[in-house]
Structure 1
């Protein structure tokens, strides 16, 4: 590892920009790998807004001073210490680019952030476990404004790191320590854990089923909170939680008693009040954009449940 870590972020969307901000603040030599159609926008730099709980007029911060690459030949011409995968689970599987990128990035540490239960196993086809660090995304980021009238001087990427949030990472000790050290140096609240996939599997299962149900309700909280909708979602969520716990060898005993319709009736108003943006609009915009990932994850729960003989009846009925 060089004194100035050389970091390649794959994808310069809302997630890549936020992690890039913190890595650049840590002194990393930063570059993005993007599709050709996004290259000019990336070279112009990005406008970022960090949101807080209290509503205010947000000041834009310019994020620039990084390299932009579009070809593997460009990537191969340099040495890299870290490669960060800031794309969706479905983009990860699109084409052969992951294997090709693995061949031209040498012995770099790869950092994955994808949420599907089998994403890590899929990546191990190309990246050996001693080089693969797993992480999660604890912040919310989106293209702002979400709707007309919001207090942003100009379009950009807004992000919110909820209070007391910690970004969990797990992986081979030496590589994990370097990732954690780098992020903390940039002001990001990173924390090591033994198995981040297991730590977030149950929460991710609930969120995925919730999003699937919200989409079925036309992205309307009012429609989602109707009795029939809540019944379908809470039953499917219980199945997904059991499957996630079985796959990661975790325990769902503390969560299952809470997964009742009343849980969602309480959660949505509280979350809507805490979020410093319109939560209903955000969920519609963001999860429409990554809708294929949600459907992939729903199919994964069904496939994993069947493979171990767990019930999937309600998951099958809700997933599309």
Structure 2
């Protein structure tokens, strides 16, 4: 952890688990964990698992990944980054027999999101949508301890054959959606206008084809569904179902990781060109 955040982390965190119906979540104190700020401290201990909870761009910032790899010995590394080329990049530091890939399909944010929200005190709110289970894949001898650890903590993790392939197409659609929402000033109303939806629709189709090609998957079941009407129907429904202000959350969260969104858009363009796929709409949408 960066030194400037260490004291705050040592004091612990206040968590709020959100439910579909609960309006006033109770605060839960999360503390009693170690905080380390140097590779020397890390190297002095034995580690079972290393979880990479940073953006795709932060992963590549500086030389910290290589230093951490040397300091953590034979630990299992768990990556959660969404870009199509993240795993290949990590393989220069971590051999495939020690690398587990995963996705955490829950939402978290600093609460309150906006004035007027009722929380006992500032903290971190999180929401696990109903019926979701976090997928993870990797070498069995490394994967099973990861699954066991999550389930022991009450998280519904599951093993799957290839997380990268499973999430590539949904991630492509989400990335183009977020990029289009930012272009619309983070306004659902402006995003849902005809011209905006058409641009997002065309770019999303290209991104999905790139993702399918790169992971050797198939986009045949998804492409017929990618129509402007889909966004027009699903976005208002999603906004009604989330127990927080979805429009505000998307602006706050994806402004924080905007460099990752830009990186992923450029990655779709570059990989698409290399594969000889059309990327004109993706390129026009990229900033």
Pairwise same-fold verdict (TM > 0.5): yes
Aligned-partner SS, 1:116: coil
- How far the C-alpha of 1:157 sits from its partner, in A, is 0.5
Residue 186 to residue 55, structure 1, CA distance change in 2 (3 Å): closer
Write out per-residue CA displacement over residues 187-228 of structure 1, whole angstroms, 9 at most, x where no aligned residue: 110000000010011000000000000000000000001111
Once the 2 structures are TM-superposed, how far is the Cα of residue 55 of structure 1 from its aligned partner? 3.7
Alignment of 1:84-163 (within 5 A): 84-163=51-130
Paired residue for 1:43, among 3, 7, 10?
A: 10
Alignment partner of 1:69 out of 36, 42, 46: 36
Q: In the alignment, which residue of structure 1 is the partner of 2:274?
A: 307
Cα distance in 2 for partners of 1:295, 1:41 equals 30
Q: In the alignment, is residue 275 of structure 1 matched against residue 223 of structure 2?
A: no
Q: How many angstroms apart in 1 are the aligned matches of 2:119 and 2:276?
A: 50
* Counterpart residue number, 2:132: 165
Instruction: Determine the structure 1 residue equivalent to 2:169.
Output: 202
Structure 1 CA distance, aligned partners of 2:152 and 2:2? 29
From 213, 223, 240, give the equivalent of 2:180.
213
Counterpart for residue 238 of structure 1: 205
For residues 192 and 63 of structure 1, the distance between their equivalents in structure 2, rounded to whole angstroms, comes to 27
Gaps of 5+ in 1: 1-33
Following the alignment from structure 2 to structure 1, what is the Cα–Cα distance between the partners of residues 3 and 195? 45
For residues 22 and 66 of structure 2, what CA distance do their matches in structure 1 show?
Answer: 44
Matched residue, 2:265: 298
Q: Which runs of 4+ in 1 moved over 3 A?
A: none
In structure 1, what is the Cα distance between the partners aligned to 2:3 and 2:153?
Answer: 29
Counterparts of 2:269 and 2:250, CA distance in 1: 23
Total equivalences in the alignment: 287
> Shift of residue 169 of structure 1?
0.2
CA distance in 2, matches of 1:136, 1:203: 12
Of the three residues 210, 222, 232, the one matched with 1:255 is: 222
Paired with 1:186 and 1:138, the residues of 2 have a C-alpha distance of: 16
Q: Which runs of 5+ in 2 are unaligned?
A: none
